[in-house]
Amino acid sequence: MSRLIITFVTCFVMDNLLVSFLPIDPIVSYYRAIPNVFLICLAFFTFYDKGIRPFIFAFIFGFLYDVCYADLIGLYTCLFPILTFIMVRFVSQTMPINLLSMMAMVAILVMGEESIVYFIVNTMKATNMSTWTFIKYILIPTAFFNMLVTIVLYPMLKFQFKIYQKKVLNDF
């Protein structure tokens, strides 16, 4: 269990580190890519544990995400468990665990999460960005960037969660 917590905390911190240390902005500085390493880790975890633990991690780290990174308290606390429910209930039941399916799922998941956040922020009139500008300059680069991060993290997360899955199966 401690390896699992360390994995989640590492992915949580990597969200901020990627923003700070990587030149995520492409050649033209209008484009922005938002790393979602924790969401990628949570998506992987839902394939290996279909119980209550993914919801607990989603809620706890959603709250931490609100406190550390977001201006709206409660946004990610509610959003991460909802996305986890959708993944556990529908996606992880039908998709195989391989790199291409994980990249596709991460792209759809990240695009859904960023769209919901944009909708809420736009509804509150906290941004004046048009929908087309958001899609062109933030949503699409974010999806591609997180797909590239998925390629890098896939072997490490798969190894960690397979160890976790074997340990859980041996406990029963």
Classify residue 109: in a domain, yes or no: yes
List the structure tokens of 109: 């998941």
Stretch (H or E) spanning 66: helix 53-68
pLDDT at 83 over 90: yes
Look at residue 27 and tell me whether its pLDDT is greater than 60: no
How far apart are the C-alpha atoms of 79 and 67, rounded to whole Å? 14
Q: What are the pLDDT digits (tens) for 104-159? A: 889 999 999 999 999 998 888 888 889 999 999 889 999 999 999 999 999 999 99
Instruction: Name the residue range of residue 47's domain.
Output: 2-12+36-171
State the total domains in the chain: 1
- Please report whether residue 29 resides in a domain: no
CA torsion angle 101 110 84 93 (round to 10): -20
Kindly state whether residue 40 falls inside one of the protein's structural domains: yes
What's the start-to-end Cα distance of the chain, in Å? 15
Instruction: Report if residue 22 sits inside a domain.
Output: no
Task: Give the single-character DSSP code of 74.
Answer: T
| Identity of the amino acid at 139 | L
Q: Quick check: is 45 in a domain?
A: yes
pLDDT value, residue 135: 93
Tell me what pLDDT residue 47 has: 85
Residue 24 lies in a domain: no
Nearest to 146 by CA among 65, 68, 39, 9: 39
- 18: in domain: no
Segment 32-51 mean pLDDT: 89
For residue 32, what is the DSSP state?
A: -
Is it the case that residue 26 has pLDDT exceeding 70? no
**72 located within any domain:** yes
Average pLDDT over residues 86-102: 83
